[in-house]
Amino acid sequence: MNNTKRLINLILGPALYCIMWIIGANTASLDVTAAKGIGVAIWMIYWWVTRPVNITVTALLPGVVNALFGIVPMEDVISQYSSSSIVLIFGSCLLTAPWLKIGLDKRISLKALSLIGPSMKSQIAVWLIAAAVMSNMMPNVVVVAIFTPIAVSMLAAAGYKDISKCEPAVPILCAIAWGSQLGGAGTPLGGAMNITAISFIEEYTGKEFMYIDWITRMLPYTIIATLVILLIMIMRPMKVNSLEGTKEYFENCYRDLGPMKRDEKISLVLFIAAMLGSFIRPLYADLLPGLVPAYLFLILGCVNFIIVGGDKKMLLDWDEAQGEVMWGMLILFAGGLALGQILTGSGANDAIANVVSNMPLSGGLGTIAIFAIFAAIISEMTNSTVSAAVTLPIAIGVIVKMGLNPIPYMFTVAMAMNYESLLPVSVRAISVGYGLDPDKLMKSGLPLTLVRLVVAIAVGYATMMIWPGFGVL
């Protein structure tokens, strides 16, 4: 980008924010504070797309703009940069930091390549399905934090050192991020967005919601959406149809590594312990209520600082950790969370919601489509949890006013909100942090987002029409 174009894009970002501020000050239907919140979102999205500065720098804007203009309480914004999700990703980085030094990354990568094979279609299918399955057992962010470094190491073993310029990295890392969201929609364990939805259902019904009810009602969507996205991904033209090397070559390379060394075993055990601990969390939640996956990852990651390795040094020291931890990824992820706080706290989401609730809705396919599109837009701009908190109360209120049962509409909204693929926020920040080009993320994700949204609307409407018990709990 030449300096003139960069300067124009730099100026246009804050200019768009100011325009929204002026609109809010001169429009009775839009509060000034809400307009500022929307302006921050537009500014960030514009800079993420045009990139006059690094995308990580853009992720710092919520704190900077809020400090200057006081849109919401500052602690609400800054706290997002040290939230439990950030701690989880930080802990994941600490767990995998020693891998390069001890050679575990190469061992895992070669094993993955020897099992999956170098075919890109096989790679996409395995990573997408594996992420979808695992997200039925643990939160999306945990799955992406676990799988992404393994995939990056695998690509490095296949000869692709620079992920930002690696064509095979795009579908593989996208398959992990998108697969986790497809699978995460099917279970309350998929993330806070589903727990938020369940809390609204319990508040409406006045009784405990059984997790099996969520699984059975979301299962048709999860299966259909996963198959549709997988089919589209493997049918797309690919610049690289196969990774460098053959399955036999990778098998031979793996054998040449010899038996696992002590340091590798220790590091692998810590990683597996974190993964299994997240999976069986319900079994010890009452005994250790504070040991959520984020802090389990952090604790086990810190164990690397106290275990002496085979070279008589610690498995990990702080200087090494500083070089291995993806600091930019942490800020990028947090920036999306902070933007969500500004949109919610400023009333921007409420302002957008009022537009939706004032539309002439009848309760049919059009109503489902409006709420689904609204939920998807909020998810893409912020994250699914914010979308659930904003969209579901509006859906309940509007549908109840119509004299209809809101439960089936809530499940359909949940289908729509449980997928984000365009901007480098939420779980996509992990992929981008490891080197995935955000432009390629958006270009790859846009058609799939539209298709997946159509699937959510179609499946939600068809299920509501065909299955009488869909809205009965």
Q: Write the pLDDT tens digit of every residue in 266-298.
A: 988 998 898 788 778 778 888 888 887 788 889
* Residues 155 and 42 placed together within one structural domain of the fold: no
Q: What is the mean pLDDT of residues 32-39?
A: 91
Candidate from 23-32, 118-127, 132-141 with smallest mean pLDDT: 132-141
Comparing 68 with 338, which gets the higher pLDDT?
A: 68
Q: How much is the mean pLDDT over the chain?
A: 84
* Residues 98 and 138 placed together within one structural domain of the fold: yes
The answer to whether 131 and 144 are in contact (CB under 8 A) is: yes
Q: What is the mean pLDDT of residues 340-351?
A: 81
Cα gap 58→365, rounded to integer Å: 38
Comparing 211 with 312, which gets the higher pLDDT?
A: 312
Task: Tell me the pTM.
Answer: 0.69
Cα gap 330→150, rounded to integer Å: 18
Cα gap 427→444, rounded to integer Å: 16
Written as six digits, the tokens of 409 are 């509409």
Which residue shows structure tokens 């395995």? 126
With respect to residue 141, please indicate whether it lies within any of the assigned structural domains: yes
In the structure, what pLDDT confidence band is assigned to residue 455 with cuts at 50, 70 and 90? very high
The candidate with the shortest Cα–Cα distance to 61, out of 348, 429, 431, 336, is: 336
Candidate from 371-375, 398-402, 441-445 with smallest mean pLDDT: 398-402
With respect to residue 403, please indicate whether it lies within any of the assigned structural domains: no
**Domain limit, last residue, from 71, 101, 124:** 71
Those residues whose C-beta lies under 8 Å from the C-beta of residue 412, and which sit 6 or more positions away, are 368, 371, 372, 456, 457, 460, 461, 463, 464
The candidate with the shortest Cα–Cα distance to 386, out of 432, 418, 415, is: 418
**Domain limit, last residue, from 71, 93, 120:** 71
Those residues whose C-beta lies under 8 Å from the C-beta of residue 258, and which sit 6 or more positions away, are none
Cα gap 338→192, rounded to integer Å: 16
Q: Write the pLDDT tens digit of every residue in 402-416.
A: 788 889 999 999 999
Using CA atoms of 362, 363, 369, 375 in order, give the dihedral in degrees to the nearest 10.
110
Q: Which residues of 49-59 are buried (b: 16+ CB within 10 A; e: fewer)?
A: ebbbbebbbbb
3-state SS assignment for residue 361:
coil
Q: What is the mean pLDDT of residues 450-457?
A: 93
* Residues 128 and 264 placed together within one structural domain of the fold: yes
* Residues 18 and 94 placed together within one structural domain of the fold: no
HEC per residue, 285-353 = CCCCCCCCHHHHHHHHHHHCCCCECCCCCECCCHHHHHHHCCHHHHHHHHHHHHHHHHHHHCCHHHHHH
Comparing 76 with 380, which gets the higher pLDDT?
A: 76
pLDDT at 247: 73
How many domains are contained in the chain? 2
**Domain limit, last residue, from 304, 326, 348:** 326
**pLDDT over 70 percentage in the chain:** 95
pLDDT at 39: 92
The angle subtended at Cα 156 by Cα 59 and Cα 236, nearest 5°, is: 75
**Which amino acid, 73?**
P
